[in-house]
């Protein structure tokens, strides 16, 4: 009886993962129906049924060759706490510079990131921000993601500051962390799930409008990457268990992955010391976090805050946020409605259209990037963008192709 129930739920589960994306794009009612089941993840529709839990497959060692070693001189640590933790535990090279394959393998081994998603992210890093084969998890423009402001790294992240609000895009701002932390006051029951994170996402979007005169929210960096920065917190950092196979993210684990130390009344960020906590269990191999899964989470966030599916920027002063019509931006390729219905397609098509300008590379040299992006989004039926209207982007004074880890603080920026 027990076995057949488990087998049935596994079968349903596997079926749902593959059947889900198409059904979802076709029907808003279907999405709403799925959402009726609230789990530890919150009201987000996935997973449809609790995934299996297998401690042997899901345990992530922080012992022996994987024991924590703090970064030393010459070791690079940047804005991504997941990659920093992987480097600190030698799942990635300790110096923080790695190849596409190393990123793909390490994110799968440490967190259960699906290879469609990691290949997309790592190839983009290599071609847009690295040397074609690899890149640094910190670095400067053209060597790593700390130097990728405007093409990868972006404003209104959860805990890292906005570049032109704070002068750094890679430092954690403790005020931001504390606001997230405070959203779950009771340590005994705390769970930073998708509901908590979408609340925080809305707060951070508003905060960037109110405090960063150069806040810029673009298709790829804003609609796609900056949503990942929020959903990844629960989807990857949450500890999986028999009781919570979807994961539960408590205060101690959040602090460990975000490199926060000290007692409750004196929380401090220790740069670059992100750690895998003891006895951490990642996602089950049948439940890896993929691109269609991620898109479902973006749409769940957008139900609470439709702003995240539009493009826009502040006009050089705080509280001057103006939107840009996707139809104007893409010379008619996507209407606002089409962009909002399929943000991953819109963002990816935009990234492809911008790549020649970003890199100065010919279509031949960009072929590996295009094929990685195409195969990663093949299930989504994406429409291409022929060309980007550069004068529409130029209306954003904070828009940059590259920048960071440090940059000027904008006149009128508010730091608190
Ligand atoms: C190859 C894979 C990955 C790439 C290329 C990547 C890249 C990035 C980049 C560019 C940012 C900055 C985004 C921004 O400015 O908002 C970022 C932030 C972030 N990443 Fe990753 N990442 C990867 C994998 C992961 C994994 C496996 C995790 C798991 C925990 C993770 C968790 C996060 C979080 C939570 C943030 C937001 C940090 C904050 O502001 O609080 N990432 N990542
Ligand atoms: C994860 O959950 C398991 C089962 O409850 C527990 O034994 C383990 O300590 C937890 N790990 C973390 C990092 O909280
Ligand atoms: C390009 O953007 C500019 C600025 O928004 C706008 O005036 C112009 O009409 C746009 N071009 C097209 C073809 O939409």
Report the pLDDT value the prediction gives residue 379, as an integer from 0 to 100.
87
Q: Is the CB of 153 under 6 A from ligand 1?
A: yes
* Cis geometry, peptide bond prior to residue 205 (ω within 30 degrees of 0): no
Q: Is the CB of 111 under 6 A from ligand 1?
A: yes
For atom 8 of ligand 2, the residue with the nearest CA is 279
For atom 7 of ligand 2, the residue with the nearest CA is 279
Question: Could you tell me if 51 and 13 are in contact, meaning their C-beta atoms sit under 8 angstroms apart?
Answer: yes
Question: Residue 306 has what DSSP assignment?
Answer: G
Atom in ligand 1 nearest the alpha carbon of residue 160: 40
Report the pLDDT value the prediction gives residue 238, as an integer from 0 to 100.
99
Atom in ligand 1 nearest the alpha carbon of residue 111: 27
Q: Is the CB of 253 under 6 A from ligand 2?
A: yes
Atom in ligand 1 nearest the alpha carbon of residue 104: 1
Question: Could you tell me if 156 and 314 are in contact, meaning their C-beta atoms sit under 8 angstroms apart?
Answer: no
Q: Is the CB of 331 under 6 A from ligand 3?
A: yes
Q: What does pTM read for this prediction? A: 0.94
Question: Residue 12 has what DSSP assignment?
Answer: H
Q: What is the pLDDT along the chain (416 residues), one digit of tens a residue?
A: 233 333 333 333 333 333 344 444 445 666 666 666 679 999 999 999 999 999 999 999 999 999 999 999 999 999 999 999 999 999 999 999 999 999 999 999 999 999 999 999 999 999 999 999 999 999 999 999 999 999 999 999 999 999 999 999 999 999 999 999 999 999 999 999 999 999 999 999 999 999 999 999 999 999 999 999 999 999 999 999 999 999 999 999 999 999 999 999 999 999 999 999 999 999 999 999 999 999 999 999 999 999 999 999 999 999 999 999 999 999 999 999 999 999 999 999 999 999 999 999 998 999 999 999 999 899 898 999 999 999 999 999 999 999 999 999 999 999 99
Q: How far is the CA of 232 from the centre of ligand 1 (A)?
A: 7
Question: Could you tell me if 66 and 282 are in contact, meaning their C-beta atoms sit under 8 angstroms apart?
Answer: no
* C-alpha dist (Å) from residue 159 to 53, 178, 356: 30, 9, 31
Residues 400 and 340: their CA atoms lie apart, in Å, by 23
Atom in ligand 3 nearest the alpha carbon of residue 332: 14
Q: How far is the CA of 403 from the centre of ligand 1 (A)?
A: 17
Report the pLDDT value the prediction gives residue 33, as an integer from 0 to 100.
63
User: How many CB atoms sit inside 10 A of residue 85's CB?
Assistant: 30
Atom in ligand 1 nearest the alpha carbon of residue 156: 16
Nearest to 284 by CA among 46, 111, 38, 118: 111
Report the pLDDT value the prediction gives residue 28, as an integer from 0 to 100.
66
Report the pLDDT value the prediction gives residue 10, as an integer from 0 to 100.
33
Q: How far is the CA of 395 from the centre of ligand 3 (A)?
A: 10
Question: Residue 411 has what DSSP assignment?
Answer: T
Ligand 2, pocket-test mutation among 89, 255, 279, most atoms within 8 A of CB: 279
Question: Which CATH superfamily includes the segment(s) 38-393?
Answer: Chloroperoxidase-like (1.10.489.10)
Q: How far is the CA of 222 from the centre of ligand 1 (A)?
A: 13
Residues 6+ apart with CB under 8 A from 148: 125, 128, 129, 141, 402, 404
Domain ranges of the chain: 38-393
Q: How far is the CA of 222 from the centre of ligand 3 (A)?
A: 21
Report the pLDDT value the prediction gives residue 198, as an integer from 0 to 100.
98
Residues 39 and 48: their CA atoms lie apart, in Å, by 9
* Closest ligand to residue 390's CA: 3
Q: Is the CB of 327 under 6 A from ligand 3?
A: no
Q: What percent of the chain has pLDDT over 70?
A: 91
Q: Is the CB of 226 under 6 A from ligand 1?
A: yes
Q: How far is the CA of 383 from the centre of ligand 3 (A)?
A: 20
Q: How far is the CA of 311 from the centre of ligand 3 (A)?
A: 15
Q: Is the CB of 294 under 6 A from ligand 1?
A: no
């Amino acid at each position: 009886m027990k076995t057949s129930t488990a087998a049935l739920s596994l079968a349903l589960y596997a079926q749902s993962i593959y059947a889900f994306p198409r059904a979802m794009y076709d029907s808003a009612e279907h999405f709403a129906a799925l959402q009726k089941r609230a789990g530890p993840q919150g009201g987000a529709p996935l997973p449809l049924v609790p995934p299996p839990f297998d401690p042997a497959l899901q345990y992530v060692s922080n012992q022996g060759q994987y024991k924590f070693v703090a970064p030393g001189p010459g070791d690079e640590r940047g804005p991504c706490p997941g990659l920093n933790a992987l480097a600190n535990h030698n799942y990635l090279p300790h110096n923080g510079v790695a190849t596409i394959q190393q990123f793909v393998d390490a994110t799968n081994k440490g967190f259960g990131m699906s290879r469609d998603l990691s290949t997309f992210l790592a190839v983009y890093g290599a071609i847009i921000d690295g040397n074609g084969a690899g890149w640094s998890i910190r670095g400067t423009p053209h060597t790593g993601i700390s130097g990728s402001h405007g093409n990868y790294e972006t404003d209104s992240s959860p805990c890292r500051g906005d570049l032109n609000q704070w002068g750094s895009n890679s430092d954690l701002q403790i005020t931001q962390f504390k606001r997230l932390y405070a959203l779950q006051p009771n340590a005994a029951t705390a769970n930073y799930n998708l509901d908590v994170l979408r609340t925080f996402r809305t707060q951070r979007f508003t905060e960037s409008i109110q405090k960063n005169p150069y806040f810029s929210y673009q298709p790829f960096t804003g609609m796609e990457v900056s949503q990942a920065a929020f959903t990844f917190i629960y989807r990857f950092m949450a500890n999986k268990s028999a009781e919570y196979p979807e994961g539960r993210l408590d205060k101690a684990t959040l602090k460990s992955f975000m490199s926060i130390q000290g007692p409750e009344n004196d929380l401090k960020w220790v740069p670059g010391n992100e750690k895998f906590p003891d006895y951490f269990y990642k996602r089950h191999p049948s439940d890896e976090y993929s691109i269609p899964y991620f898109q479902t989470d973006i749409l769940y966030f957008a139900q609470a805050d439709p702003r995240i599916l539009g493009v826009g920027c502040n006009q050089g002063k705080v509280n001057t946020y103006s939107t840009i019509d996707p139809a104007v931006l893409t010379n008619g390729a996507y209407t606002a409605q089409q962009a909002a219905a399929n943000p991953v397609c819109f963002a990816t098509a935009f990234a492809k259209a911008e790549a020649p300008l970003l890199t100065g590379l010919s279509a031949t040299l960009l072929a590996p990037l295009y094929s990685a992006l195409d195969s990663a989004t093949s299930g989504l039926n994406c429409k291409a963008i022929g060309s980007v209207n550069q004068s529409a982007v130029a209306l954003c004074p904070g828009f940059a192709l590259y920048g960071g880890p440090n940059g000027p603080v904008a006149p009128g920026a508010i730091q608190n």
